[in-house]
Amino acid sequence: MPQPKRFQFTSTDGLSIACVKWSGHHQVRGVVQIAHGLGEHIGRYAELAETLVEGDFVVYGNDHRGHGLTAKPSGSFGEFGPGGFDQVVEDMISLRVIAKNEHPRKPYILLGHSLGSFAAQQFILDHSHSIDGLALSGSGALDGLARVAQSVAA
């Protein structure tokens, strides 16, 4: 079973971002970066990461601002702080640079769940050239929003 390696990096605005890397002792087929949802932390994805490692992937993820080990000791859980959502996306870009430097010629897949799926969508709007695949789960649908708007307008 892969042992997670915890590390940190300093974000573009000076915040320490807590990260995890899961890897095995084998040839790496590709890299998966996981962006977790609101109110979660990257540790919730350990079982998924372990399964991906068994499939010869290396997996990276970080605790978003206000989440998990990146949350300030003051207890500001769920709050992104200055820069808000844009800074969350910047942190994801920074983690991608770290991972890509360690595995420069491997396919890179970004997986986002819920809030992480929206951050992943913003990520690819600005940096689609830097990833090879995208998986989204728990994303909202405009169809659902349109139905709500129609019922409110009726």
| Ramachandran class of 96: left when φ > 0, alpha when ψ lies in -120 to 50, beta otherwise | alpha
Q: Residue 136's beta-bridge partner residues? A: 112
Q: Tokens at residue 107, please? A: 């396919």
Mean of the pLDDT values across residues 131-141?
Answer: 89
- Per-residue pLDDT at 138 exceeds 70: yes
The predicted-structure confidence for 15-53, as pLDDT tens digits, reads as follows 999 999 999 988 999 999 999 999 899 999 999 999 999
Q: Which domains does the chain have, with CATH numbers?
A: 5-153 (3.40.50.1820)
pTM of the model: 0.87
Q: What is the pLDDT of residue 149?
A: 58
The predicted-structure confidence for 83-93, as pLDDT tens digits, reads as follows 789 999 999 99
DSSP the chain: -PPPEEEEEE-TTS-EEEEEEE--SS---EEEEEE--TT--GGGGHHHHHHHHHTTEEEEEEPPTTSGGGS-TTT-TT---TTHHHHHHHHHHHHHHHHHHHSTTS-EEEEEETHHHHHHHHHHHHHGGG-SEEEEES---HHHHHHHHHHHH-
- Per-residue pLDDT at 143 exceeds 70: no
